[in-house]
Structure 1
Amino acid sequence: MREEFYEFYGYRVACTVPEEAASVADRLLGASVLPGGDAGQAWTPQTVHLSFELTDTDREPVPPPYFPEHWDTSDVVVLDTGSSRAVITPARWTVRVTLARSDLDNPIVWGRWLVEKAFLVLTLRSDRHYGLHAGALSVDGRAALVTADSGVGKSTFTAWGLFNGADFAGEDAMMRHIDDPEGRFWGYPRCAYLDPALIKSRPELADAPTAPVPARDKSRVEWPASFESRLRPAARPRALLVLTRSHETVRPLGVAAALDLCRDDFAAGKDDLAVRERAESDLRSLLSDMTILQFGLSTDLDTNFERLAAVLHG
């Protein structure tokens, strides 16, 4: 077994993994960091203890529920694919993954269904963290959070920015650590979930590891090394864009309207009124310093990126 430390969604992760599964940790978490490497920060990230153990099973993995029953109140939350499982103990900040050897090469199981979801559960259950259904990208040093209803095109919009030279911090979930004084939102920039046709159309992704998401029209693609210099763990946004296909214009939104649109995200998992109010107060403060826009998407992806750059630098 080896134990190494990583950054994942802004958390400090102490990961224990058997050598046989070392490639899973490498693909999922990226390069390890030195213990105590966050000592120079103005805040101390929460440490999550993540462990892997291997097992043998003949079962085929199946999609687990998006959230298991009582995920927001149970002392222990279990994500189970039939072949592999993750056991989350929010009060102890631990995630124990029992991974079938047959799933070692299946990033949908250990990525999308288990570890990525486990960290979302930890964030939503925490009284010092919250999440947004959003991505983030930065054009020439100026960043935007990008949110939208499912199916509008948020993932394509953020990925297209990366293809056109933007920095990329995530495309589906951004985590906010309330104690981080720099106002950052932390994402997972190592992969994206995109339309398979879009992946196939990009020559730079020809050799990128991809895996289809069962029962979904998306595939998980791991960004190749050529993008590494523009993958960022976090963004400090100067704008919030709410994507829509109801029109093709850019319209201002107020802070109150933006909070209402994000309420189901930042309030998820937080039964305590004081905890919800703390999350709302933090987000309200950050939004007050941002440009907030309803951003109508054009059918032309290049036009959308040009308008994004104009918004951020206008």
Structure 2
Amino acid sequence: MRQDHYEFYGFRVACTVPPEAEAVVGRLFGTPLPSGAGAPSSWTPDTVHLSVELTDTDRAPVPPPYFPQDWDTSDEVVLDTVSSRAVVSPARRTVRVTLARTDLDNPIVWGRWLVEKAFLVLTLRSDRHYGLHAGALSVDGRAALVTADSGVGKSTFTAWGLFQGADFAGEDAMMRHIDDTEGRFWGHPRCAYLDPALIKSRPELADAQAAPVPARDKSRIEWPALYASRLRPAVRPGALLVLTRDHETVRPLPVDAVLDLCRSDFAAGKEDPAVLQRVESDLRALLSDMALVEFGLSTDLDANFVRLAAVLHH
């Protein structure tokens, strides 16, 4: 088996994979990093060792729990879809995937349920990383984090920005590496989870690879090459938007209010009070330099994008 190196959510990934699974890795991570590539800035990202082995099974995949029991304390966290599984070792920074050959063409299994979730576990269990339930867009070089309660429309809002010419860094999870002195948040821009009706309404997505998420009203879509030049692995945000449908105005928010709204995100997996304090201090410092607003959505998606641009360029 060959080993290549990739970037994923800001981590370095040393990936060992059999030839049959190379297409899966390409769809997840994109192009390997050049041989001997150095760190992208003054900080050195953690390296995660990901291995994939294939197995034969006649069992159909089933949705696993969002987080397995004891995910925040176990030495090994097992993500199990019955047909395939991933074993995550946070302390050793390893992810071992056992993938059924019948799941090779199922991006919900190897994407949403296994590898994407594994890196979320690694982030939340780390004392030098944390995550936000957020997406991120950049308009003319100015970036915003976008967060909201589930069902408000964050995924549609961020995808529409991409359709309108914005750069896109993710729509569901953004990871922060505290040692990254540039203050960036890292996403997974290669795919999104969208309403199938929205996907169907966009002719440029007609041939994009999409798969429905079981028991959800969303599909996982992999962005076509048309958008490749506007997919960004990270942003340095100048604003944070909290989307709401309670009104259609833009209202400023204090830092403490935003911290309270995001607390369940950045505090997840942080058992040590000193670690949690360090994480909160890092986020507070970053938020203090941002425009923080409650952003009321209208039913006019184009108008929402115009107002986003106005917030970023105010």
For residue 2 of structure 1, report the CA deviation from its aligned partner. Answer: 1.2
User: Aligned residue for 2:289?
Assistant: 289
| Structure-1 separation of matches of 2:311 and 2:204 | 27
Q: Which amino acid aligns with 1:129?
A: H
Question: In the alignment, what sits opposite 2:52?
Answer: 52
Q: Alpha-carbon deviation of 1:50?
A: 0.4
Name the SS for the 2:207 alignment partner. coil
The aligned counterpart of 1:6 is 6
State the one-letter code of the partner of 1:18: P
1:255-284 deviations in Å (ceiling 9; x for gaps): 000000000000000010000000000000
Instruction: Name 2:220's counterpart in structure 1.
Output: 220
For the 8 Å contact 2:175–2:187, the answer to whether it is kept is: yes
Q: Which amino acid aligns with 2:51?
A: S
Do structure 1's residue 163 and structure 2's residue 163 form an aligned pair? yes
Shift of 1:34: 2.4
Aligned mates of 1:204, 1:106 — CA distance in 2: 22
- In the TM superposition, what whole-angstrom CA distance separates every residue of 1:203-255 from its partner, at most 9, and x where no partner exists? 11000000000000000000000100000000100000000001111000000
Q: Provide runs of 4+ in structure 1 moved above 6 Å.
A: none
- Match status 1:116 vs 2:116: yes
How far apart, CA to CA, are the structure 1 residues paired with 2:100 and 2:278? 40
How far apart, CA to CA, are the structure 1 residues paired with 2:311 and 2:71? 39
Alignment CA distance shift 1:39-1:20 (3 Å):
same
One-letter amino acid of the counterpart of residue 137, structure 1: L
Aligned to 1:77: 77
1:38: how far off? 3.1
Q: What's the offset of the Cα at 1:36?
A: 4.1
- Matched with 1:260 is 260
Q: Deviations over 1:166-187 (max 9, x none)?
A: 0000000000000000000000
CA distance in 2, matches of 1:40, 1:150: 33
Read off the aligned partner of 1:100 and give its amino acid letter.
A
Name 1:39's counterpart in structure 2.
39
> Partner residue of 1:136?
136
Q: Deviation per CA, 1:70-129, whole angstroms, max 9, x where unpaired? A: 000000000000000000000000000000000000000000000000000000000000
Count of aligned residue pairs for this structure pair? 314
* Cα 1:73–1:35 shift into 2, 3 Å: farther
Q: What do the CA deviations read for 1:154-207 (whole angstroms, capped 9, x no partner)?
A: 000000000000000000000000000000000000000000000000011000
Q: Give SS of 1:91's match.
A: coil
Residues 138/228 of structure 1: CA separation in 2 closer, same or farther (3 Å cut): same
Task: Give, in angstroms, the shift of residue 35 of structure 1.
Answer: 4.4
Partners of 1:85 and 1:58 in 2: how far apart? Answer: 14
1:153 maps to amino acid:
G
Q: How far did 1:41 drift?
A: 1.4
What CA RMSD, in Å, does the superposition of the two structures yield over aligned residues? 0.6
Q: Name the amino acid aligned to 2:128.
A: R
Shift of 1:9: 0.1
Q: Percent identity?
A: 81
Q: What is the letter of the counterpart of residue 237 of structure 2?
A: P
Partner of 1:313: 313
1:101 aligns with 2:101: yes
Residues of 2 paired with 1:38 and 1:147: CA distance? 32
Query: Counterpart in 2 of 1:64?
Result: 64
Pairing 1:185-196 to 2, within 5 Å after superposition: 185-196=185-196
Alpha-carbon distance in 2 for matches of 1:269, 1:290: 26
| Range that drifts further, 35-44 or 247-256 | 35-44
> Partners in 1 of 2:171 and 2:255 — Cα distance?
22
Q: Distance in 2 between matches of 1:233 and 1:198?
A: 24
Distance, in Å, in 2 between the alignment partners of 1:27 and 1:81 is: 20
Matched residue SS, 1:221: strand
C-alpha displacement of 1:40: 5.2
Matched to 1:103, the amino acid is D
Q: Give, in whole Å, the separation in 1 of the partners of 2:163 and 2:38.
A: 31
**1:270 is matched with which residue?**
270
The gaps in structure 2 that reach 5 residues or longer are none
**2:20 aligned with 1:16, yes or no?**
no
- 2:205 aligns with 205
Change in Cα spacing, 1:95 to 1:40, as seen in structure 2 (3 Å) is closer
Partners of 2:172 and 2:242 lie apart in 1 by 13
Q: Which residue of 2 aligns with 1:248?
A: 248
Instruction: Say which SS state the counterpart of residue 92 (structure 1) adopts.
Output: coil
Q: Which amino acid aligns with 2:196?
A: P
The verdict on how the C-alpha distance between 1:143 and 1:82 changes in structure 2, with shifts beyond 3 A counting, is: same
2-structure distance, mates of 1:299, 1:100: 43
Distance in 2 (CA, whole Å) between partners of 1:139 and 1:283 is 22
Indicate if the aligned counterparts of 2:39 and 2:45 stay in contact, CA closer than 8 A. no
TM-score of the pair, normalised by structure 2: 0.99
Question: What is the alpha-carbon distance in structure 1 between the residues aligned to residue 248 and residue 229 of structure 2?
Answer: 32
